[in-house]
Every structure is written in structure tokens, then in C-alpha cells.
Amino acid sequence: MIANDGYAAMTTNKVAERAGVSIGSLYQYFPNKQVILVSLLEEHLAHVHPVIERSLDELSDPAVPYVEAMHRMFVRLLALHRDANPRLQRALGEEVPQPPHVREQRRRREAEYTARVATILRDRPDVRAYNPEVAAQVLVEATSALSRWLAHEAPPDLDREAYVREAVRLLTAHLQPTRP
């Protein structure tokens, strides 16, 4: 994909080159660099959304054990991050000044995910959270951060399997109703 060296290297000419079109063609479809990069971001988000939705559906299904559902979600996020170029994500997600409607949409979507998780924490019989809203917030951040780290920053000799197991343990243990 695009972006190998951070935002600085995301020149419009390189974007065009890697997209396999001329710079002129790129500007036939996009009015300027910001819009080019933002639409790369939107494309990515559109790709990510259904995967998360599916994972949340699974997480809200009482027939699937909580730990099991969490494990599956973690593995899916991992795959998602693997497909994506982390530099691109960072550049798109944080460096590119985003137009308000995109910022708003991202915010809304994240809030939506968190709200769904809060509901799940409240509703699942095999889970007990003192403050579901905040717990959901924490959970979403931790899940996202751990899967991203494993996908992009973990040293190559790390035991991936063990990491996933340990991560899921951390992400689930504190909500077990059987804790004293």
C-alpha cells in the first residue's frame, strides 16, 4: 500500500505512483492532498467497520462464552491490523488534519462501539462490571492497543499464541463474576 516513511513521505506523487495512476489523474478525482488522504482513511474505516460489528454481535451472543468471543475479536483485530499499513494508519488517523465531518464520524463510531460494549457488559450473565460505561471504555482502548502492538511493534521472536492468550486473560479476568 502507500506510506512507508510516515506522513513526510506521503507525497501526492508517491500516492499517485503507488495507486498506479498519474498525479494528474489523482487530481481529477480529488481536489487536494488532504482529501486524498482522508479518503484513504475512510476506505480503511469502511473495511474495518463490518469486522468490528461482527465481533460485537458475537460478543453479545450469550451462546458464545465471553472469553471465547473476546478471543475471536482479538484475533480478528489482529488480522485487520496486519492488512493495514501502520504508518498509513498513523498518518491518516492522527497527522492529517481531518475535516469536521470525518472527525465527527470517527468519534461517533467509536462512541457507538463503546456503547455496545457497555450494553454487553451489562447484559451478559457471565460478566460483572461495576461501572459498565467506563469498563467498556477501558476495554475498547486496551483491546485496540494490545492487538495493534502485537501486529506492528512486537519483537519478532515473541510467542504470538501466548501473547494472545495472555492478552485475552487480561481483557476478561477483571469482569469475571466469580471473583471474591
Partner DNA sequence: TATGAATGAGCATTCATTCAT
Partner DNA sequence: TATGAATGAATGCTCATTCAT
Find all residues with CB under 8 Å of 42, minimum gap 6, and list them: 102
Q: Is 10 in the site for DNA (CB under 7 A)?
A: yes
Give the one entry of DNA, a second copy, none that residue 99 binds, where binding means its C-beta sits below a cut-off of 5 to 8 angstroms depending on kind: none
User: Which residues within the stretch 118-137 sit at the binding site for DNA (CB under 7 A)?
Assistant: none
Under 8 Å between Cβ of 150 and 80: no
Backbone angles phi, psi at 167, to 5 degrees: -60, -45
- Site membership for DNA, residue 33 (CB under 7 A): yes
Q: Which of 1, 6, 18, 28 binds DNA (CB under 7 A)?
A: 28
Cβ 92 vs Cβ 2: under 8 Å: no
Q: Give whichever of 31 and 125 is closer to DNA, judged by the CB atom.
A: 31
CB of 172 vs a second copy, minimal distance in Å: 8
Position 39 contacts DNA (CB under 7 A)? no
Scan residues 133-152 and list those touching a second copy (CB under 8 A): 134-135, 137-139, 141-142, 145-146, 149
Q: What is the DSSP string of 104-125?
A: HHHHHHHHHHHHHHHHHHHH-T
- The site that binds a second copy (CB under 8 A) totals a number of residues, namely 41
Angle between helices 33-59 and 100-123 (to 10 degrees): 10
Q: What is the contact surface with DNA in residues (CB under 7 A)?
A: 8, 10-13, 21-25, 27-29, 31-34, 36
